Structure 1
Amino acid sequence: MSQEGGGRFKPGRSGNPKGRPAGSGEVARVRAAMSANLPRIIEALEARALEGDTGAARLLLERTVAPLKAVEFSQAVAMPGDGLAEKGRAVIEAMSAGQLSTEQGGGMLDALAKLAKLIEADEMERRLAALEAKQ
């Protein structure tokens, strides 16, 4: 039956506005069936992991233990000179010498680049104010 020519449903409206009830799908049924056996499944995985099954150990650890994150430590870096380029070179040298990680050094270089843009904006503002004052 066509929806356009006097069918049961109006265009733009669902025939089932409430949708399928939550938990009535196939995945929900499988989960419900497995839930009764879940403690035994976990125990079996644990036993296999303890026997040396690295796949079982990995599965258990991935699902129960939060992944470790790298910890960054603060490191003072001597930045000689007044120029931003000199400071950037000092950061790159510190990375090359192993004093800074590439992530730390990259963060410092990004900060120097942002500082350069701020200095440039300040300089433009000063120049504009000077030009306007002359007029």
Structure 2
Amino acid sequence: MAKFQKGQSGNPAGRPRGIVTQAKLREAILGDIPDILSTLVEAAKDGDVAAAKLLVDRTIPALKPTSDPVTFTPGATLTDTAHAIMQTIASGQMTTDQGTALISALTGLARVIEVDELSRRIEALERGHTHQEVPNHEQPQSTN
């Protein structure tokens, strides 16, 4: 049996009075922020790793991996291009992360091409065949 009934609040009385909201907490310590920061900085300087981590995490953005642009010669087909990407990775000219991103993009492109081709085929079927689109062996015979 479920702990809570569908459509019924798990806390019908609402939030209990006296719960401090973030806004109230910020307001309460606003005047003490400079002293708190000074104490935190001094603790970090004295070797408090947790204080140092907190300061660094909150003030210095995390480093994001970067990669240099890579050039390779795409193939005539999507398959050939995928092979070119794999060869570029194997030769060490491209990282596996870059190759994975390119192969993923290539897969997305293949899906777009496939959907586009299917859409065109469906539209042609819905329009019906014109006289030029019907192969010669299917053209109606004239009765003269």
Query: Shorter-chain TM-score: which interval?
Result: 0.5 to 0.7
Is 2:101 aligned against 1:107? yes
> What CA RMSD, in Å, does the superposition of the two structures yield over aligned residues?
3.2
1:132 aligned residue: 129
Within-5 A mapping of 1:83-102: 83-102=77-96
Deviation, structure 1 residue 68: 2.1
For 1:29 and 1:95, locate their aligned partners in 2 and report how far apart those are by CA, in whole Å.
55
Structure 1 unaligned regions, length at least 5: 1-23
Alignment of 1:1-135 (within 5 A): 26-27=20-21, 28-80=23-75, 82-121=76-115, 123-124=117-118, 125=120, 129=124, 132-133=129-130, 134=133
| Equivalent residue pairs, number | 113
Structure 2 residue identity aligned to 1:47: E
Partner Cα distance (2:37, 2:123) in 1: 70
Structure 1-normalised TM-score? 0.62
* 1:32-80 C-alpha deviation (Å, 9 max, x unpaired): 3322221111001111212222211110111122222222321102334
TM normalised by structure 2 equals 0.59
State the 1:129 CA deviation: 4.1
SS of structure 2 residue aligned to 1:37: helix
Q: Which amino acid aligns with 2:78?
A: L
Q: State how far apart, in whole Å, the 1-side matches of 2:46 and 2:116 are.
A: 66
